Amino acid sequence: MENNISFQMKVETGDAGYVLEDVPHLTDYIPDLPTYPNPLRSNPAYSVVKQYFVDADDTVPQKVVVHKDGPRGIHFRRAGPRQRVYFAPDEVHAAIVTCGGLCPGLNTVIREIVCALYHMYGVTRVLGIDGGYRGFYSKNTITLTPKVVNDIHKRGGTIIGTSRGGHDKPKIVDSIQDRGINQVLFMFQVYIIGGDGTQKGAAVIYQEVRRRGLKAVVAGIPKTIDNDIPVIDKSFGFDTAVEEAQRAINAAHVEAESAENGIGVVKLMGRYSGFIAMYATLASRDVDLCLIPESPFYLEGEGGLLEYVEKRLKDNGHMVIVVAEGAGQELLAADNLKTSTAKDASGNKLLQDVGLWISDKIKAHFAKIPSMPITLKYIDPTYMIRAVPSNASDNVYCTLLAQSCVHGVMAGYTGFTSGLVNGRQTYIPFNRINEKQNNVVITDRMWARLLSSTNQPSFLRPKDVIEVQKQEEPPTELLDGDNSKANDI
């Protein structure tokens, strides 16, 4: 095997094109740390499980579809408990922080980190950082015990609060240092739950912790209702969001069906990635048109949206439109004769209301056709969808994510995000999580399935198809676009 060690990840290569993109470890910069037998050995629940500990050589392939003669490809370290740990329970201070927008399952992840630390590893000093990154230096902490978190998985939101902005690296790392690291006795564990912005912030904190040589590990858990984080199969809370979106789509359908030329418009979240809209549409079967940020569309003329709406109403008497909030933003900007430069505290562009805009455009179009009076209802359930508690399958997923993360941290790994890859829990280096965004690939099969389920036009002219293909990643050897697991099923 050849090794190539960097600050962010350690790349090992092996036979037949095997590549391991490994995560950093505390001992990479603090050698000779003592280790201890994993306390799970004597835990009655786990000691009976055969092969409970993960083999040090276990890795998980990023791609499971391979060709006979193809290279084995990229692998990630398999998550799970190790035989030996790098923390004695009474030496540990752990902190949990949640950042960015809400997402179903946040409380479940918090609960399961706390319970895994207490019940599996005997760690009893666990703090919640109040209100996102800024909470490290400007707010109080919340003591978290199994009793405090006992039933929080039944509630939406996050009991420790969240925020955007406020990522001040020196102040955050100073606060980690002040909370015990420099008292020799203590080792710190930081669990950072959040989306793409949060994971970028976590990578910066990890680098600074390492530069200062602190005995602290930094681990991320990917949270994003938009499913816009790459590499992982899908993000927690996504299933719940898609399920909750069905209620809004059903309401839109009932309203539309009950009126002459009824149109129901539903706006769903998805700033840059239209996964919620795509999956909610595929699940519902009542949707006639789905608009996402990745797929350009136009209103007027042949093959345009208004022509399709007219045709659909003539054929079927009613229709349902699902629009992701980031869709058509360039059309809105052109229409308003100005590009909005407003941003939120984290620097994310603030979007204009595409649902309202499209509803107005449709109403204005049909106002010019007196023979076709329409009834249009616009439903905006965006915050209702992300403020609910996670459903049963997301609860299980959150539990596994949280436990995997704790196992990795106790084993001394740092600078990683815990994530599901091909159905297996893994540790992924921050730089792989942060290098790009997960988007719907509109030249892939999943979007084709959607188009055939709604019968909507693709709005792409032959020249647009060539443009889109140029912008997307070059095809892999498998001839599938592979920058999204959710595209690739």
Ligand X SMILES: Nc1ncnc2c1ncn2[C@@H]1O[C@H](COP(=O)(O)OP(=O)(O)OP(=O)(O)O)[C@@H](O)[C@H]1O
Q: With binding defined as CB under 5 A, does residue 195 bind Mg ion?
A: yes
Angle of helix 275-284 versus helix 445-454 axis, rounded to 10 = 50
Phi, psi angle pair for 217, to nearest 5°: -105, 145
Question: Strand pairing of 92-98 and 187-194?
Answer: parallel
Minimum separation from the CB atom of position 321 to ligand X (A): 24
Other CB atoms within 10 A of residue 437 CB: 16
Query: Which residue in the block uniquely carries the two structure tokens 């919620």?
Result: 276
Query: Exactly one of 226, 286, 394, 482 is catalytic; which is it?
Result: 226
Q: What DSSP state is assigned to residue 241?
A: H
Q: Which stretch binds Mg ion (CB under 5 A): 180-188, 189-197, 243-251, 472-480?
A: 189-197
- Residue 453 · residue 282 · CB < 8 Å: yes
Task: Considering the complex, state which of residue 195 and residue 220 has its C-beta at the smaller distance from ligand F6P.
Answer: 195
Task: Considering the complex, state which of residue 226 and residue 310 has its C-beta at the smaller distance from ligand F6P.
Answer: 226
Question: Strand pairing of 2-5 and 36-37?
Answer: unpaired
Task: Considering the complex, state which of residue 38 and residue 198 has its C-beta at the smaller distance from ligand X.
Answer: 198
Task: Considering the complex, state which of residue 199 and residue 403 has its C-beta at the smaller distance from Mg ion.
Answer: 199
* Alpha-carbon gap, residue 217 to 409, rounded angstroms: 7
Half-sphere exposure of 192 (CA within 13 A, CB side): 35
- Residues lying near ligand X in the complex (CB under 6 A): 99-101, 132-133, 164-167, 194-198, 200-201, 204, 224, 226, 346, 348
The amino acid sitting at 212 is R
* Alpha-carbon gap, residue 292 to 271, rounded angstroms: 9
**Cross-strand bridge partners of residue 418:** 427
15 in catalytic set: no
Minimum separation from the CB atom of position 271 to Mg ion (A): 7
Angle of helix 392-410 versus helix 106-115 axis, rounded to 10 = 40
Site string for ligand F6P, 364-403 (x = CB under 6 A): ----------------------x-----------------
Binding partner at 119 among Mg ion, ligand F6P, ligand X, none, C-beta below 5 to 8 Å by kind: none
Other CB atoms within 10 A of residue 371 CB: 5
Site for ligand F6P in 235-274 (CB under 6 A): 269-271
Task: Considering the complex, state which of residue 25 and residue 134 has its C-beta at the smaller distance from ligand X.
Answer: 134
Binding partner at 386 among Mg ion, ligand X, ligand F6P, none, C-beta below 5 to 8 Å by kind: ligand F6P
Binding partner at 128 among ligand X, ligand F6P, Mg ion, none, C-beta below 5 to 8 Å by kind: none
Q: With binding defined as CB under 6 A, does residue 234 bind ligand F6P?
A: no
- Residues designated catalytic: 226
Binding site for ligand F6P (CB under 6 A): 101, 195, 225-226, 269-271, 325, 344, 386
